Homo-oligomer: A and B are copies of this chain.
């Protein structure tokens, strides 16, 4: 529960209230980023832009959409970190270049951005943000291909890493998903207009119909002639982010060919098979652990109980008293239900242990509420490596599982027992698909590098060293 996704994107073409639907789409994707939000629109003649810091409802007060005219629009929500939080990093980025205006919203992370940027700077390019997305725009502007789709293709052939992109120009929307398909991107339809979104839950809110995933390596062009699908990139092994299933995506989204909650439940069920325990109740860490806990409970036959209550009125900041309050950081969000826990042997289901500090506090809180035993069950394997493809993870050295055995972790978090879902178990849970989704869960189609260190697009030493540069340049 400590990872943060990079971003969410949304685009639409051919709707009289384009900006308003983007606004609602971003609302539904708010869980993918709360630092900044932005919308661009086109009325066929020019592009309008509005971006700002904060959540969608803060950035766009009533009446603010009026100036975002036109029937095509794209939007972006961005994650929050302390360091490079700056309005100049907010997206969509909007530029003008030799062929006119273009704007782009990006979910993902390029691993060779620093090298490309170095090269572009060497050729005289200037950079105004620390975002890797700016690199893509430079490459398009420098592409020798006059046609937009060709130029985008040319640019993206030079970048490596993860990208689900929505471009907006004067007269079209272009959506692209990288050949490995790291991050999700879906295609929908609403009243004759076509739209794309990071997750299908955005379609639900605006009353759009989910049509299909944009395929890995696919470019979808939406304009006055309708939708065209191109596959301009050389084929590559697909490596979709399994962590979208584990934690990121909303449970009501249909992603990578499956319903997210179904996969989570199957992970919980597998976890029950792999790490059974004689206990009285199964308790999730809400909200992310709920579905895995349901799967665990169902499979194990141990009753499911909401033994932790989440306070949803939590703001960004607190005035904490000087006199310390035990487990304060966790307590403002979570409170144990004493009545339910007292005297019980508890199976506590969560989706991950990152640094271990939060888990340690939660276990203590539950024990102080009277639980006799707390058996921690994690619905994925130990997180041993950071993500380079669009997930904001701590450094490897901060990941407790990168340097500690499971038993050491268990001791640190003071759990009665600790069980992680095995890699094989996770693969099996993802792969148990039937009916129309059959094959969608093929384990070979997923990236699980944060559990295995098998990075599908390996980074050179240089790239590893340069990664932090992007976080430093602008403050």
Residues of A near any B CB (own CB < 8 A)? 16-17, 20-21, 23-24, 27-28, 30-31, 34, 46-49, 55-58, 60-62, 64-65, 67, 86-88, 93-98, 101, 121-128, 137-138, 141-143, 191, 201, 204-207, 250-252, 254, 258-259, 261-262, 287, 290-291, 294, 298, 303-306, 309, 311-323, 325-326, 331-332, 335-340, 472-475
Contact = CB atoms under 8 A, between A and B. Distances in A.
A-B interface, 5 closest residue pairs, ranked by CB to CB distance from nearest: A259-B339, A57-B315, A124-B142, A30-B313, A252-B309
A316 B61 CA distance: 11
A305 B251 CA distance: 12
A27 B332 contact: yes
A75 to B, nearest CB: 13
Contacts of A86: 49
Contacts of A30: 311, 313
Contacts of A262: 339-340
Contacts of A206: 325
A317 B96 contact: no
A95 B126 CA distance: 6
Contact of A252 (B20, B124, B325, B336): B336
Given A49-B475, A294-B304, 6 more contacts: A24-B318, A97-B125, A98-B121, A121-B141, A125-B126, A261-B340
B290 A207 contact: no
A254 B339 CA distance: 8
A65 B338 CA distance: 31
Contact of A17 (B87, B101, B318, B323): B323
B290 A306 contact: yes
Nearest to A65: B319
A220 to B, nearest CB: 23
Given A96-B121, A141-B125, A101 B473 contact: yes
B339 A261 contact: yes
Nearest to A117: B96
30 contacts: A16-B323, A17-B321, A23-B319, A27-B313, A28-B311, A28-B335, A30-B311, A31-B313, A46-B472, A49-B88, A56-B315, A57-B318, A87-B87, A88-B88, A97-B125, A98-B124, A125-B125, A125-B141, A204-B335, A205-B331, A205-B332, A250-B335, A251-B337, A252-B335, A252-B337, A254-B339, A259-B340, A261-B337, A287-B312, A291-B306
B339 A64 contact: no
A287 B286 CA distance: 11
B94 A474 contact: yes
